[in-house]
Amino acid sequence: MSRSVLVTGGNRGIGLAIARAFADAGDKVAVTYRSGKPPVDLIDLGVLAVRCDITDPEQVEQAYKEVEAAHGNVEVLIANAGITKDQLLMRMTEEDFTSVLDTNLTGTFRVVKRANRGMLRARKGRVVLISSVVGLTGQAGQANYAASKAGLVGFARSLARELGSRNITFNVVAPGFVDTDMTRSLSDEQQAGIVAQVPLGRYAQVEEIAAVVRFLASDDASYITGAVIPVDGGLGMGH
Ligand code: NDP
């Protein structure tokens, strides 16, 4: 059955692959973008693109209105939008910290809260949050980012308890290093250092993250909630 799926930050990177995976499976997909529009072939697949900065509650509300008008209530929400502002603690500014928290954690709160309205009414829903392996292991230079991604775990697990009786599941996907703009901005030396620590010896491709997200939103995952699923080539084993 075709469901109404919303992917935040679906114009590029992991979010784009997730949007494609749902659209290819026949779902009604909407993506939010902040600066750059999604590629034309995604729009050709029938995907609705809505401008939305998730740090702005009014834009979140407006985006939901547009999506609901086109596709009905959101039944599957993938909270994927996120940023990094890496810096050692000594040099990390207040703005470096709060802007990353405001996007990755509070922004996710905003979109999840708004989706929940329709899910409660429908007495069903699937929410998948995109965290990161570093939210579990920590990472030098990423205290802000790791804190935001760890926060998503407590957030999802609290909601899994709060809303399980309403047949709404909340799960977290924790990717390792994925081949996207976010990781391409690292130096060659940093990238080689990361790959050396990954048991599978390579970055993930975006499709490998999308496949797990789609599974968590499928009927096959109907009894999974509050889970943190690593998709990290073994990098975070034991955490
Ligand atoms: P990209 O940098 O390629 O894309 C980030 C996406 O988030 C873009 O669509 C961007 O929109 C959107 N976004 C950022 N800030 C906002 C905002 N304030 N409001 C709305 N949208 C926003 O990242 P990835 O695809 O690599 O990452 C996607 C998610 O996966 C992130 O949450 C990231 O933390 C996580 N992740 C990534 C890993 C990796 O190795 N790449 C590893 C582990 C987790 P725009 O294009 O308009 O800027």
Domains of the chain, by residue range, sit at: 4-231
The verdict on domain 4-231 having CATH code 3.40.50.720 is yes
The predicted structure's pLDDT at residue 142? 96
Torsion 2-82-112-35 (CA) sign: negative
Quick check: 97 and 194 in contact, CB under 8 A?
no
Q: Is 175 in the pocket of ligand 1 (CB under 6 A)?
A: yes
Closest alpha carbon to 224 in 213, 239, 232: 213
pLDDT < 50: residue spans in the chain: none
- Of all protein residues, the one whose alpha carbon is nearest to atom 44 of ligand 1 is 132
Q: Which alpha helices (DSSP H) does the chain contain, by range?
A: 13-24, 40-44, 57-71, 94-101, 107-122, 134-137, 143-163, 181-184, 188-197, 206-216
- Of all protein residues, the one whose alpha carbon is nearest to atom 4 of ligand 1 is 13
CA 132 to centroid of ligand 1, rounded, Å: 11
Q: Is 110 in the pocket of ligand 1 (CB under 6 A)?
A: no
3-class SS at 153?
helix
Q: Is 130 in the pocket of ligand 1 (CB under 6 A)?
A: yes
CA 79 to centroid of ligand 1, rounded, Å: 10
Quick check: 103 and 149 in contact, CB under 8 A?
no
Strand order in the sheet with 76-79: 48-51, 28-33, 4-7, 76-79, 125-130, 168-175, 228-231
CA 80 to centroid of ligand 1, rounded, Å: 6
Among 33, 145, 203, 223, which one carries the catalytic annotation? 145
- Of all protein residues, the one whose alpha carbon is nearest to atom 27 of ligand 1 is 14
Q: Is 101 in the pocket of ligand 1 (CB under 6 A)?
A: no
Tokens 């026949």 locate to: 26
CA separation for the pair 181, 176 (Å, rounded): 14
Q: Which atom of ligand 1 is nearest to the CA of 134?
A: 43
Pairing state of beta strands 76-79 and 48-51?
unpaired
Closest alpha carbon to 234 in 189, 214, 204: 204
| Mutation choice for ligand 1 from 180, 186, 213, CB with most ligand atoms inside 8 A | 180
Two tokens, residue 124: 């069903």
Burial, 188: exposed, middle or buried (Cβ in 10 Å; 0-12, 13-18, 19+)? exposed
Quick check: 181 and 214 in contact, CB under 8 A?
no
CA separation for the pair 176, 189 (Å, rounded): 17
- Of all protein residues, the one whose alpha carbon is nearest to atom 20 of ligand 1 is 53
The predicted structure's pLDDT at residue 238? 85
145 is catalytic: yes
The predicted structure's pLDDT at residue 83? 97
The predicted structure's pLDDT at residue 183? 84
The predicted structure's pLDDT at residue 145? 98
